[in-house]
Amino acid sequence: MKKFFYMCLSGHFHSQVHCPYDGSKSDFTEIVERALDEARRQRLDLSVETLVSLGVPRAALKWAMVVEFGSSEVAFDAMAPASTEVRGTLKPQLGLDGEEGSVVSQAKR
Ligand SMILES: [Zn+2]
């Protein structure tokens, strides 16, 4: 089972439109959700490339991920990692605040 996850400015990953931890949402929500609906309708294999082929700009997917779970029973909807290792460097929290080219807004519900 595969799921698409947005990453918010605080480094949370969520499959829902709004981050359940802080209420933020991606600037690209509409186009991503439309592509996810189309992928389901056409029964396409979910991947970043599938979403690009359905018209989602690569910039919208830079901070996203598609996860394949071993079982739908263990698939989660969101996670808030306490730390992340990036290219061998342990970071306390992966976030996009101040990141050049950030693709996420803090629009609240
Ligand atoms: Zn968040």
Distance 105 CA to ligand 1 centre (A): 10
Q: What is the pTM of this model?
A: 0.81
- Say how many Å lie between the CA of residue 23 and the centre of ligand 1: 7
Give, for 26, the enclosing helix (H) or strand (E).
strand 25-26
CA 78 to chain centre: 10
Calculate mean pLDDT across residues 15-27: 95
Q: Is the pLDDT of residue 50 over 90?
A: yes
Return the closest-CA partner of residue 2 out of 43, 41, 45: 45
From the CA of 28, how far away is ligand 1's center (Å)?
A: 15
Distance 98 CA to ligand 1 centre (A): 15
Domain boundaries, the chain: 2-105
Per-residue model confidence as pLDDT tens digits over 64-109: 999 999 999 999 999 999 888 888 988 776 555 544 333 333 343 3
